[in-house]
Amino acid sequence: MNIENHKEIKASSLTNYIDKKIILDIYKQELHKLMLVKLISVNTNKRYIVVISNNENLTISFNNISAVYEENVVKPFVPQNLPVKVNWEKFTRLISEVNMELGKYNGILESIPNTEVIFSPLTTQEAVLSSRIEGTQATLEDVLEFEAKNNKKAENADDIEEIRNYRQTLDEACSRIKNDFPLSLRLLKDMHSTLMQGVRGENRNPGNFRTIQNWIGKPKSSLVTADFIPPSPETIIEHLGNLEKYMHYDEKDRLVQLAIIHAQFEIIHPFLDGNGRMGRLLIPLFLFEKKILTKPLFYISAYFESDRDSYYAMLRSVSNTGIWDEWIEYFLIAVREQAIKNISLAKKIIDLHNSLKQKIRDITNSKYTLEILDFLFEKPVFSTKNFRDALGAKPPVIKRNLDKLLKNNIIEMTERGAGSRPSLYRFSALFSISEFTSQ
């Protein structure tokens, strides 16, 4: 583009030019802290490009063009302090419905002693879907097979490790909350450190709040083309302190409070990477800490992932308008609908568990009946070695039980072992529950 032929050019027509030329020159001159936000115009008579910035006026010359930066025209977003004004009357009925469905779901969780074992694949599926919102492609079966084989060289190993980190982060945070460690900035930093360990983003200051400006936009976007610019790093601790205080505020309704907490965290965007996953991890942790659920087993990412554009649009509506009602309504509906689906899925999984208890006892005639049953739900894709380690039995006992499970179609062999490589099996009945694989 020959800009000398234009007296005034709109920002949209110069986006590529600004990205490739001006920003490159800025970095060359070690002015990387400059916040270039938006182009205003080009004036060929005075030979300068006017842009918006939040830094002091500067003139940078290259190719006979000067860039003039105007101070404090556009700033990073400044979040509202919490608590915010809520139209409580508008949500009275919806709040009642959501709490009722969550109460039903919690009743199911309380009714069985080994919930974490039976629902273990669901926790992994939540990690899969929350990570998928951020761009990973691995499926639940990819993760389970990876763990069964301990295959560090899998094609999608990077995606899988991110998913496993998500699950580990949730487990560790839950354990600390059980021991009366509160939801806090310290816990968030520790969680982030685990989430980013050994995966993409591990070099982006894991476990620490950001000290530089970030932005939200399409892939390869910059501060010039960003959709949203979160609060400046200088104000991060102030906003997070307000959020931490609100987490323990006695709000009129905990679910509305959770909606606000989730959105405010995403608005602040306190880390350089992993903010979306961290924000979604807060949901089951808050429900657990506030004793709305007796176990931190709530799977909401399926709802968000099913229409992620709406999810992002609703989050953005808060920062665009300063009005919370639309987001709160969206979030409450998401929790209600996902609670209903979780109830249906939980009942089917529990029914399957109960129906197999006697069947496996009759088939195997083994003292390991309960161990085998729980193992199949905890590791529905497994190797011979996994099975042997779980039961702790001698090889002939392992072989005899596996043969009986195979013969009676409780499991299927998906890979036959050879040499030192063990065979791989799949607990097909669990995957046949449609809600399980479509979550």
Contacts 24+ apart (CB under 8 A), 365-373: 366/397, 366/401, 368/393, 368/397, 368/401, 372/401, 372/405
Residue showing tokens 């002091």: 56
pLDDT in tens, 267-305: 999 999 999 999 999 999 999 999 999 999 998 999 999
Regarding whether 359 and 341 lie in a shared domain, the answer is no
Regarding whether 217 and 119 lie in a shared domain, the answer is yes
Nearest alpha-carbon partner for 212 in 232, 230, 239, 227: 232
Contact assessment for residue 135 and residue 201, using Cβ atoms and an 8 Å cutoff: no
Name the amino acid, one letter, at 271: F
Q: What is the CATH number of the domain that holds 424?
A: 1.10.10.10
pLDDT at residue 193, as a whole number:
98
Whole-number CA gyration radius for the chain: 26
Partners of residue 42 on adjacent β-strands: 49
pLDDT at residue 331, as a whole number:
98
pLDDT at residue 372, as a whole number:
96
Regarding whether 307 and 270 lie in a shared domain, the answer is yes
Phi, psi angles (nearest 5°) of residue 73: -80, -45
Phi, psi angles (nearest 5°) of residue 278: -60, -40
In this structure, is residue 54 part of a structural domain?
A: yes
Which of 70, 104, 119 terminates a domain? The answer is 70
Regarding whether 168 and 260 lie in a shared domain, the answer is yes
> Which residues of the chain fall below pLDDT 70?
1-74, 224, 434-439
In this structure, is residue 423 part of a structural domain?
A: yes
Q: What is the CATH number of the domain that holds 289?
A: 1.10.3290.10
pLDDT at residue 41, as a whole number:
40
pLDDT at residue 22, as a whole number:
42
Regarding whether 137 and 53 lie in a shared domain, the answer is no
pLDDT in tens, 369-402: 999 999 999 999 999 999 999 999 999 999 999 9
Domain around 202: 88-345
pLDDT at residue 104, as a whole number:
97
Residues 6+ apart with CB under 8 A from 25: 60, 62
By CB neighbour count within 10 A (0-12 exposed, 13-18 middle, 19+ buried), where does 400 fall?
middle
Nearest alpha-carbon partner for 297 in 144, 134, 112, 158: 112
Partners of residue 61 on adjacent β-strands: 66
Contact assessment for residue 138 and residue 159, using Cβ atoms and an 8 Å cutoff: yes
pLDDT at residue 435, as a whole number:
54
* Helix or strand run (H / E) with residue 261: helix 254-268
Residue showing tokens 């919806």: 94
Regarding whether 360 and 327 lie in a shared domain, the answer is no
> What is the count of structural domains for the chain?
3
pLDDT at residue 215, as a whole number:
87
Contact assessment for residue 199 and residue 193, using Cβ atoms and an 8 Å cutoff: no
